[in-house]
Chain A
Amino acid sequence: MSESLIAALFVFVLASFTGFEVINKVPPTLHTPLMSGANAISGISVVGALLVAGLDREPSLTTALGLFAVIFAMVNVVGGFLVTDRMLEMFRSKGG
């Protein structure tokens, strides 16, 4: 394996443990918002999509694939964060 891949693997494993630690013990009320908020974060693939869309200097199939990926990921990001906010607003507006 290449050095960069090993490094990425370290990052992946450590981040996974961080995720387990951070999210443990979430009350049931927040299960849905947590899920849809995390879902929005998984739209980070928009960064990869932007990189792919910019790979070729001339428009190509690669560019097109990247652009579609940008659109889909962006729906995921914007839709995810906004709908989570909408839910959490309801949770709060009951003055609990």
Chain B
Amino acid sequence: MADVLFTGTQLAYLAAASLFIVGLKQLGSPATARNGNRLGAIGMAIAIVATLLDRQILGYRDIAIGLAIGTAVGAIAAYRVAMTAMPQMVGFLNGLGGLSSSLVAIGASWHAVTALQPMAGDQNFSILLGIAIGNVTFSGSVLAFAKLQGILPGGPVVLPFQKVVDGLLLVGFVVASGMFLQDTTNLPAFAIANLISLILGVVLVLPIGGGDMPVVISLLNSLSGLAASAAGFVVQNNALVVSGALVGASGLILTQIMCKAMNRSLGSVVFGGFGGGTSSGARGPETRTTKEIDSEEAAMLLGYARSVAIVPGYGMAVAQAQHAVRELADALEKRGVEVKFAIHPVAGRMPGHMNVLLAEANVPYSQLCDMEDINAQFENVDVALVIGANDVVNPAARSDRSSPIYGMPILEVDKAKHAIAIKRGMSKGFAGVENELFFANKTSMLFGNAKEVVAQLSAALKQL
């Protein structure tokens, strides 16, 4: 009987893993994405039910309560979160996944100690891996959440002697791990290994911030998968190993895409701060002038253009201006102006951030253009309207070899016939470099809060 049950459970896990693979595949294409997500959810339900049926021990009541609490909290969070808060939400969920994997490893280890059933050496190694990855994911995600939510300053914070601190922590973790492997009942060593891995997550994310956040978010996503895999090694469960590996791989691909979109290596994002601050302050105070216009003038430029490209950036997300932007786009289209949205892959604070916001505001998918597509068209664009984007439209990335962002693929707004840039002030972008675009002759600056300014533009457009 037990054999049949075991086989049944394992086959259910196999079915779940297959559903995850098909689901992820379908998530990669707009037509099937929603169905893919559902397949994933069905796979998860199968895995959970199979596990519950397989358990031959009492205690269902507590487990049911645990499942119910988790479900309720998850559902409420999912329905209440604002789309502008999606980066935090993803960070928050990543963190819980990591914490859960880490608790699985700790629980299994504690059981081995208290039940006097010591595990094999390699399994103890898995436990260490599980707590290390799980804890780093947890504390790193908590920190990322705090930065994105504005609880902590969002920019990078580099500790003095950062590399020394990192090194010491790593050594400490290895030593504590060694002591635990020697004697798995050595609780202090185990506790210290846990503590150090929690601190490691903090020091890993602390020096990363601002425009590098998309990399961190997708990296933590990848780690949360690896943590689940490691927990799978601990409890010897293939469902965890497979699913964790899938998520780990997908997160890694996204991380790579983000790094490529900034022309930076993962190493330089995680360990580098930004470009080591080489040329940013080298030119002394800025003496060039910008050309400023008001919203009436800007509305006139936009209203009488044939084609307009809107370039959203993090500033649009901060001001929650996506609905106002959509209204402006509608008003322009009503006048017969062709409107497109130019989306840079790393604009915002997580992969695909701008797409989510514009989708929330009901901007049609056909209006959104990827970087490659729109760059080929900028020469035919009459007015490029930059809303709260900075580094991703800085032509220095193409021309200035000494610039920290040199080589980063950009939206070639400077090739449009006119550019209007909506900005709160003349502050520099995340990379800390001046933006040539804002000083160019054909660029006009429109200062103010993105949401208010865009609403003024719509209003002024009606007066034309």
Q: How far is the CB of A85 from chain B (nearest CB, A)?
A: 6
Could you tell me how many residues of chain B have their Cβ less than 8 Å away from some Cβ of chain A?
A: 117
B37 partner residues in chain A, CB cutoff 8 A: 33, 37, 40, 81, 84-85, 88
Q: How far is the CB of B114 from chain A (nearest CB, A)?
A: 7
Q: Complex Cα distance A11/B28, Å?
A: 23
A17 partner residues in chain B, CB cutoff 8 A: 249
A1-19 CB mask vs B (1 if < 8 Å, else 0) is 1101100100111011111
Q: Is the CB–CB distance between A41 and B20 below 8 Å?
A: yes
Q: How far is the CB of B26 from chain A (nearest CB, A)?
A: 10
The binding surface of chain B is classed by DSSP as helix
B464: interface (CB < 8 Å): no
B66: interface (CB < 8 Å): yes
B18-48 CB mask vs A (1 if < 8 Å, else 0) is 0011011101111001101110110110011
Given the interface pairs A20-B253, A55-B107, A78-B78, the reply to whether A37 lies near B101 with Cβ below 8 Å is: no
B363: interface (CB < 8 Å): yes
Q: Which of A40, A63, A85 contacts B44 (CB 8 A)?
A: A40
Could you tell me how many residues of chain A have their Cβ less than 8 Å away from some Cβ of chain B?
A: 87
Given the interface pairs A39-B247, A57-B58, the reply to whether A49 lies near B217 with Cβ below 8 Å is: no
Q: Which of A39, A48, A70, A94 contacts B362 (CB 8 A)?
A: A94
Q: Which of B86-94, B174-182, B430-438, B446-454 contacts A (4 or more CB under 8 A)?
A: B86-94
Q: Is the CB–CB distance between A45 and B97 below 8 Å?
A: yes
Q: Is the CB–CB distance between B23 and A37 below 8 Å?
A: yes
Q: Is the CB–CB distance between A54 and B100 below 8 Å?
A: no
A8 partner residues in chain B, CB cutoff 8 A: 232-233, 236, 238, 241
Q: How far is the CB of A2 from chain B (nearest CB, A)?
A: 6
Q: Is the CB–CB distance between A41 and B93 below 8 Å?
A: no
Q: Which of A28, A47, A79, A91 contacts B345 (CB 8 A)?
A: A28
B217 partner residues in chain A, CB cutoff 8 A: 35
Q: Is the CB–CB distance between B100 and A73 below 8 Å?
A: yes
- Closest-by-CB residue of B relative to A57 is B57
Q: Is the CB–CB distance between A33 and B352 below 8 Å?
A: yes
Report A19-67 residues with CB < 8 Å from chain B CB: 19-20, 22-57, 59-63, 65-67
Given the interface pairs A30-B27, A67-B63, A88-B33, the reply to whether A43 lies near B100 with Cβ below 8 Å is: yes
Q: Which of B192-200, B222-230, B277-285, B310-318 contacts A (4 or more CB under 8 A)?
A: B222-230
Q: Complex Cα distance A72/B392, Å?
A: 37
B88-111 CB mask vs A (1 if < 8 Å, else 0) is 011001101101110110111011
Q: Complex Cα distance A25/B256, Å?
A: 12
Q: Which of B77, B97, B108, B110 contacts A42 (CB 8 A)?
A: B97
Q: Residues of A at under 8 Å CB distance from B?
A: 1-2, 4-5, 8, 11-13, 15-20, 22-57, 59-63, 65-96
